[in-house]
Amino acid sequence: MNKPDPRKPAGETALENLFGVIDRVQLGPEAEAIGRVTQIADGLIHVSGLGSARLGELLAFEDGSRAFVLNLDVDSLQAALLDPGVEIEAGDPVHRTHALVSIPVGEGLLGRVIDPLGRPLDEGGPVEAAGYELIEKPAPSIIDRDFVSEPVETGILVIDALFAIGRGQRELIIGERATGKTSIAVDTIINQKDSDLVCVYVAIGQRTTAVRRAIDAIREKGAPERCVFVVAPATAEPGLRWLAPFAGMTVAEYFRDRGGHALIVLDDLTKHAVTHRELALLARQPPGREAYPGDIFYLHARLLERAAKLSPAKGGGSLTALPIAEIEAGNLSAYIPTNLISISDGQIVLSNQLFAANQRPAVDIGLSVSRVGGKAQTDALKEVAGKVRLDYAQYLELRVFSRFGGFGDESLKKRIAHGDRIGALLAQRRLSPLGPADQVALLAALDAGTLEDVPLDAIETVKDILPAVISANPALAEFRADPQKLTEEIRAILVDCVRQAAARAQKPVPAAPG
């Protein structure tokens, strides 16, 4: 500011300053497009007068609520509310923000619980973001992708041995309600406690209590400081539930695009499809099969295609996706399940019958598949897991026929007894992951017949004791650090470790004195 001239009257100096301010003002017309609410119902707003708005653009209302443009018509548009918007009525003005929907990203989100717009849902204060990135982004091109060859170790024997998941893969977890779908995903996240994977858990339309249980389990057993929780519960606005998986992908891509490795769990896409159908019907889009709109396949395809293993030229990072889908009455041929199966690189199918028979995790060996398979397994695990799936599938068929009796053949009885031990070995309690060396040891012992004389109810105890036995053996230190190649010497030592664990598991417990 100019200093007043002492030779001039004070009033004259003030007047000159005022004229100077006026001269600096940029005069000219300013145009602002203002629309009007024509209809509002169930979280969807019809707006007229904003023909220049873009798809995915944020709109602002007088009461502070926001929405994003979901559909564009010739003379109007439909916007999905991101806030309750209880004071919005027909005739209210609508303002453009000229900004597309974005979310904060960066390491400041690690350990936090946020909504799909990056607003904190925990008590950690404001989110410290490294920047903002668009929620809707194109998937990496084919030339920018690399082969999927590194494993994502879930710690679940039946998955790691029979349906290996690789970094950059999209493996669908599908099953009926309450069959352990979320449990498999949560156990996988917990098993990354000592890995370099950053985990993003996205809850879409879930009950608040279920989301709380999953987050508490990860915080108690896993590494929450390397996890991000994106939550849009069943009580959230449909717009937030619709945005949730895309927001989670953007958060995870931040780490992948910088050469890191990320894992995202989408729980679940069936509820996301229902939300999309709800908004589409409110927007009067023509319904198709099962009343879903025609773009439902493209919706999930463009989402899941963003998971990929990048080439070394792009940093070599990876983003692995574990989408979850729910089916009814075991109907895998329903519209949404078949869409997701065709988009993903394999599926882990959970059986309601196995779950009821206390086979947990209730993985259906015959219907599950990984289209990456052995390419993402270590050589050691691949060597000992080769015959397990075939032997177990044959055992399940034999067990069905054995109900009719008449099995006098001793070899068939041995095959059924062997299958019983495979089933007991593949059964695994929640929150009790097995390391790669433990898995190789158990399967090698199964192949060597070490477990044939172990009672079925003692095999779970063997799995509990085995990690301590292997850790105490100095000859296995190098193999535990890098369980890639399995020599005959190492195989024999691992089998002997299982034999020791089995002996301890069957040792009688001394009676209490008195």
Tens digits of per-residue pLDDT, 70-88?
999 888 999 999 998 778 9
Catalytic site residue from 36, 145, 212, 371? 371
**Which residue type is seen at 397?**
E
| Cα distance from N-terminal residue to C-terminal residue, the chain | 95
Residue pair 207/177 in contact (Cβ under 8 Å)? The answer is: no
Domain that holds residue 95: 34-100
* Same domain as 270, residue 125: yes
* Same domain as 171, residue 319: yes
Phi and psi angles of residue 104, each rounded to the nearest 5 degrees, phi first: -65, 145
Show the 3-state SS of 368-420. Answer: CEECCHHHHCCHHHHHHCCCHHHHHHHHHHHHHHHCCCCCCCHHHHHHHHHHH
How do residues 400-431 score in pLDDT, each as one tens digit? 777 666 556 777 888 888 999 999 999 999 98
Buried b (16+ CB within 10 A) or exposed e, 173-195: bbbbeebbbbbbbbbbbbbbbee
H/E run at residue 344: none
Check residue 322 and give its pLDDT: 98
* Same domain as 264, residue 148: yes
Q: How many domains does the chain have?
A: 3
CATH number of the domain enclosing 83: 2.40.30.20
Is the four-CA dihedral 214, 192, 253, 104 of positive or negative sign?
positive
What DSSP state is assigned to residue 17? H
| Model confidence band, residue 21 (pLDDT cutoffs 50, 70, 90) | low
Is the confidence at residue 1, as pLDDT, over 50?
Answer: no
How do residues 344-397 score in pLDDT, each as one tens digit? 999 999 999 999 988 899 999 989 999 987 888 989 999 999 889 888 988 888
Is the confidence at residue 151, as pLDDT, over 90?
Answer: yes
Residue pair 186/433 in contact (Cβ under 8 Å)? The answer is: no
* Same domain as 95, residue 112: no
Is the confidence at residue 244, as pLDDT, over 50?
Answer: yes
Check residue 462 and give its pLDDT: 95
167 a catalytic residue: no
Q: Please state, in angstroms and rounded to a whole number, the distance separating the CA atoms of residues 140 and 225.
A: 28
Mean pLDDT, residues 133-140 taken together: 95
* Same domain as 120, residue 201: yes
Mean pLDDT, residues 123-144 taken together: 93
Mean pLDDT, residues 104-132 taken together: 94
* Same domain as 397, residue 336: no
Indicate the average pLDDT of the chain.
Answer: 90
Q: What is the largest CA-CA distance in the chain?
A: 123
Give me the helix-helix angle, 410-426 and 459-471, nearest 10°: 60
How do residues 176-210 score in pLDDT, each as one tens digit? 999 999 999 999 999 999 999 999 999 999 999 99
* Same domain as 121, residue 76: no
* Same domain as 322, residue 223: yes
* Same domain as 72, residue 151: no
* Same domain as 161, residue 292: yes
Is the confidence at residue 7, as pLDDT, over 60?
Answer: no
* Same domain as 46, residue 59: yes
Give me the DSSP letters along 146-201: ----SB---S-HHHHHHS--BTT-B-EEEEETTSSHHHHHHHHHHHGGGSSEEEEE
Is 390 a member of any domain? yes
Of 361, 377, 393, which residue is a domain's last?
377
CATH number of the domain enclosing 343: 3.40.50.300
How do residues 26-67 score in pLDDT, each as one tens digit? 766 767 788 999 999 888 999 999 988 999 999 999 888 999
* Same domain as 454, residue 435: yes
Pick from 217, 200, 224, 218: nearest CA to 118: 200
Is the four-CA dihedral 279, 284, 290, 292 of positive or negative sign?
negative
Is the four-CA dihedral 228, 233, 239, 245 of positive or negative sign?
positive
Q: What SS3 class is residue 257?
A: coil
How do residues 458-511 score in pLDDT, each as one tens digit? 999 999 999 999 999 999 999 998 888 899 999 999 999 999 999 999 876 555
CATH number of the domain enclosing 499: 1.20.150.20
Of 83, 100, 117, which residue is a domain's last?
100
H and E: helices and strands count for the chain: 16, 16
Give me the DSSP letters along 22-59: HHHS--S-----EEEEEEEETTEEEEES-TTPPTTEEE
Q: Please state, in angstroms and rounded to a whole number, the distance separating the CA atoms of residues 357 and 506.
A: 25
Pair type for strands 131-134 and 76-81: unpaired
Is 13 a member of any domain? no
Is 21 a member of any domain? no
> What are the Cα distances from residue 191, in Å, to 30, 154, 221, 367, 431?
57, 6, 9, 25, 9
Check residue 387 and give its pLDDT: 87
Of 76, 100, 124, which residue is a domain's last?
100
Is 18 a member of any domain? no
Residue pair 69/17 in contact (Cβ under 8 Å)? The answer is: no
What DSSP state is assigned to residue 222? S
